[in-house]
Structure 1
Amino acid sequence: MKKPFVTQEQLQNIAAQYPTPFHLYDERGIRENARRLKAAFSWNPGFREYFAVKATPTPAILKLLREEGCGVDCSSLTELMMSERCGFGGEEIMFSSNDTPPEEFSMAHRLGATINLDDITHIDCLKETLGTLPETVSCRFNPGGVFSIGASKEGFQVMDNPGDAKYGFTRGQLFEGFRRLKELGVKYFGLHSFLASNTLSNEYYPTLAGILFQLAADLKRETGCHIRFINLSGGVGVPYRPEQTANDIFAIGEGVRRQYESILVPAGMGDVAIFTELGRFMLAPYGCLVTRAIHEKHTYKEYIGVDACAADLMRPAMYGAYHHITVMGKEDAPCDHIYDVTGCLCENNDKFAVDRALPRIDMGDLLVIHDTGAHGHAMGYNYNGRLRSAEILLREDGSTELIRRAETPEDYFATVVW
């Protein structure tokens, strides 16, 4: 059973101060999780987590993660600007974009960020934009085909289709690209790849690591390039459903270490730093969307209307994604009602839950929609003129801090030329 990180009494007090809906984040959980990740990879002296800004582009959260030793992975000009304003600079920033406008390469270079190229043609674009290439450049690898790990001991099968993804170099392009970059004066190299999303298997990262470590050894042998780091990117998931088992980050770190020692160390590459680029794993369980039941409808189905909508959390409408729901104060009540929990958009897919078994919901009840700390508020939008909600941080001492106010109609009209 999933339990909120906040009590009913706490939430009632918070909701009395801040109107629902709002996104709430757990400072203690975020910090403890960042420390677990760091400990799991402490065997690698150069390890660093580059938090994927796109998952939760909220300055207060980014600053908190920086205090825990994390860097940031940016994919746009505004994410670079936000990271700079939060105090990140130099090697604390990884810039991983695609179809990149030249001015974004310029901004990344000005900040001293490590640039992670998505395509072989971007080498010449980078040269034309900067004149002289940076000392360190990374490249993103796409092996093509279908990536799959059979049913693991966790009972979860990982499968994705890199061949359909728009990202990355082919293997042949990678070798050609490294040689070209070396000719242009690049001294140090990085390797990056992302093969599957939201995996619930302790085997995914070690399997990916084995692929990248062998590729790195081949690249060094055939091109002579000095590979300084390997970025395992994201893909380590979280259990959105209560019956799912969470990943064991220590088992994952140990699996990567075994691959490192069996492949890279014999290849004379025992100095390679390991980077991660996690978003969902770092933040999703430590954020929730708090909303209030405001309508009930009895037609062909039973509906509960809440004051949040897909403008606050797009994943259920966009992907059909499952997010667990707790009716506060009724955690132990029988789930003997079947509801669709809906928002107010003029779209039939604006539903947080479909045919969900829940306790009886009364008007005014507070509902916690779990695991929205990543790709939650970040994916908000203004369709139907709906305004995005506030973000609030629950501090370790139990106090709260408003870290992003709710949008107002003035914000919505601010860009209009009348």
Structure 2
Amino acid sequence: MDLNIKTNEKNHLTIGGADVCDIVKEFGTPLYVIDENRIRENYQRFYNAFSKYYKDFKVFYACKANTNLAVMSILKDEGCCIDTVSPGEVYTCKKLGFSSDKILFTGNNIKNEEMKFVADEDVVLNIDSMSALKRLAEVINPNGTKISFRVNPMVEAGHHKHCITGGVMAKFGIMETEAVEAYKLAKKLGFNPVGMHSHIGSGILDPEPFKLAIKSTMDIAGKVHKEADIDFEFIDFGGGIGIPYTPDEKLLDIDNFAKENVELFKQKLQEYDMKEPTLYLEPGRYIVGDASVLLVSVNSVKQSYRKFIGTDAGFNTLLRPTMYGSYHHIVLANKMNEDPVEKVDVAGNVCESGDLFARDRFLPKIHEGDILGILNAGAYGFTMASNYNSRPLPAEVLISNGKPILVREEEKFDDLFNKQIIPDHLKN
């Protein structure tokens, strides 16, 4: 089992060396708890694996996975670059002190004013369509502005159909057949196209789909290099590298993953007689996924036609199980030594039938007042949370050297009214 589970002598789950029962006493539940050291370890393991085989390598953390300011500050401290997908993420990065050359922007169906905002911040735009290229030329003066293109490598992978970003059904990227035309037009309009980007999906634990994507992307890059006379400064193969969610999944052998994919990348560079560009990769989940746990309290044990363990969080707090059918391992955090004895459904407190964290999960005997740990909640956990059912967002706590630090305050009821305006004619 590679789920980063640690316990102490009290048989309590620990996160970053801190006892979850002590954390809950201080901060309550539901609560996201983040392990600073785990983030650093994951980043360093990833960076070291690829830089070992290709020196000119950069990690661009896909911050949509988790935009907590403390998390992003940790990665800034590690020297990481940032992959952004919205002007808001660009704004956040700049406020945190990331320099423009450490930010890449990949937009999708983006408005003109948003493109102009990103360009004015001197951040390289990764163009997703011919339409976006032409519209960008209308809102800024190209004048040698560096851009990149996202191509669709016609390779698809991912843990759920909603997470597949390549292939004929994907809305992302330009087609292989229009790639040369896109780069030629960019040069004609006055841009300086310096990069190529692709991304095939999320939750990848096998090097083979990634190798297929590298082969396809490099074939496109080789054709663009030859026919559009482009010497690439960087080639970016996106992210999507997964983590174990179930007990029978193994942590990816990242060294072997890096070795096989870099070897193929180098072969393709030689095949097309291309200069060695900087290699970009955009891990998100791999860096932060297993670094956070969602702690919830059991407020109801209900024997109906099924046995339901009711918690004080719902899909408004952690959406992935409802949206993707995702598995998150659940532990009885205050009694880690107890063995599973019965199948139960672990349910949330949202008024929706689909509000379930687990169905038919084999767990220990659970009582009201117990604490459950929902593991691997660091990627697309809080960042996808909402105020659905008018429930305030939970707090987030960072564990640094064994000590808990509040890094996001729990919302209060009054926060639900922010930015809302009642028209005068409807006021009493």
Alignment TM class, shorter chain as reference? over 0.9
**Aligned partner of 1:291: which letter?**
V
**Equivalent-residue separation in structure 2 for 1:251 and 1:131 (angstroms):** 44
Aligned to 2:195, which of 182, 190, 201?
Answer: 190
Offset from partner CA, 1:304-337 (integer Å, 9 cap, x none)? 1111111110011112111000102433322111
Q: How many percent of aligned residue pairs carry the same amino acid? A: 30
Kindly state the Cα deviation for residue 215 of structure 1 after the two structures are TM-superposed.
1.9
* Cα distance change, pair 49–133 in 1 and its aligned pair in 2 (3 A): farther
Aligned to 1:381, which of 374, 386, 403?
Answer: 386
2:411 pairs with 1:411: no
Contact 2:298 2:309 in 1 (8 A): yes
Counting only pairs closer than 5 Å after superposition, residues 341-380 of structure 1 correspond to structure 2 as 341-380=346-385
Structure 1: state its 5+ residue gaps: 150-157
1:400 aligned partner = 404
**Equivalent-residue separation in structure 2 for 1:161 and 1:256 (angstroms):** 18
**Equivalent-residue separation in structure 2 for 1:223 and 1:3 (angstroms):** 48
* Cα distance change, pair 213–143 in 1 and its aligned pair in 2 (3 A): closer
Aligned to 2:150, which of 140, 143, 147?
Answer: 140
2:238 pairs with 1:233: yes
SS at match of 1:164: coil
Contact 1:22 1:389 in 2 (8 A): yes
**Equivalent-residue separation in structure 2 for 1:327 and 1:244 (angstroms):** 20
**Equivalent-residue separation in structure 1 for 2:407 and 2:334 (angstroms):** 26
Aligned to 1:169, which of 164, 168, 174?
Answer: 174
Counting only pairs closer than 5 Å after superposition, residues 183-222 of structure 1 correspond to structure 2 as 183-222=188-227
Q: TM-score, normalised by structure 1?
A: 0.93
- Count of equivalent residues: 408
Aligned to 2:112, which of 98, 102, 106?
Answer: 102
Larger displacement relative to structure 2 (298-307 or 39-48): 39-48
**Equivalent-residue separation in structure 2 for 1:70 and 1:261 (angstroms):** 23
**Equivalent-residue separation in structure 1 for 2:106 and 2:20 (angstroms):** 38
Structure 2: state its 5+ residue gaps: 423-428
1:224 aligned partner = 229
2:331 pairs with 1:326: yes
Kindly state the Cα deviation for residue 3 of structure 1 after the two structures are TM-superposed.
4.6
Aligned to 1:302, which of 307, 328, 337?
Answer: 307
Offset from partner CA, 1:122-153 (integer Å, 9 cap, x none)? 11111111122553211011144x6479xxxx
Kindly state the Cα deviation for residue 218 of structure 1 after the two structures are TM-superposed.
1.6
SS at match of 2:32: strand
Aligned to 2:266, which of 248, 261, 264?
Answer: 261
Larger displacement relative to structure 2 (169-178 or 252-261): 252-261
**Equivalent-residue separation in structure 2 for 1:23 and 1:59 (angstroms):** 14
Aligned to 1:12, which of 21, 27, 33?
Answer: 21
2:77 aligned partner = 67
2:93 pairs with 1:83: yes
Contact 1:239 1:245 in 2 (8 A): yes
Counting only pairs closer than 5 Å after superposition, residues 13-28 of structure 1 correspond to structure 2 as 13-28=22-37
Larger displacement relative to structure 2 (397-406 or 267-276): 267-276
**Equivalent-residue separation in structure 2 for 1:48 and 1:106 (angstroms):** 26
**Equivalent-residue separation in structure 1 for 2:259 and 2:234 (angstroms):** 18
Contact 1:232 1:275 in 2 (8 A): yes
**Equivalent-residue separation in structure 1 for 2:132 and 2:282 (angstroms):** 21
**Equivalent-residue separation in structure 1 for 2:171 and 2:271 (angstroms):** 34
* Cα distance change, pair 206–6 in 1 and its aligned pair in 2 (3 A): farther
**Aligned partner of 1:13: which letter?**
D
2:40 pairs with 1:39: no
2:129 aligned partner = 119
Contact 1:48 1:71 in 2 (8 A): yes
Contact 1:5 1:26 in 2 (8 A): no
Kindly state the Cα deviation for residue 265 of structure 1 after the two structures are TM-superposed.
3.0
* Cα distance change, pair 235–340 in 1 and its aligned pair in 2 (3 A): same
1:280 aligned partner = 285
Larger displacement relative to structure 2 (66-75 or 204-213): 204-213
Contact 1:133 1:185 in 2 (8 A): yes
Q: TM-score, normalised by structure 2?
A: 0.91
**Aligned partner of 1:56: which letter?**
N
SS at match of 1:265: helix
Offset from partner CA, 1:155-190 (integer Å, 9 cap, x none)? xxx988621111110012211000011122333421
**Equivalent-residue separation in structure 1 for 2:36 and 2:264 (angstroms):** 33
Kindly state the Cα deviation for residue 300 of structure 1 after the two structures are TM-superposed.
0.2
**Aligned partner of 1:110: which letter?**
D
Offset from partner CA, 1:90-145 (integer Å, 9 cap, x none)? 1111111111111221221122211100101111111111122553211011144x
**Aligned partner of 1:167: which letter?**
F
Contact 2:302 2:308 in 1 (8 A): yes
Offset from partner CA, 1:62-111 (integer Å, 9 cap, x none)? 11111112111111121111111111121111111111111221221122
Contact 1:182 1:225 in 2 (8 A): no
RMSD of equivalent CA atoms: 1.9
SS at match of 1:72: strand
SS at match of 1:203: helix
2:345 pairs with 1:336: no
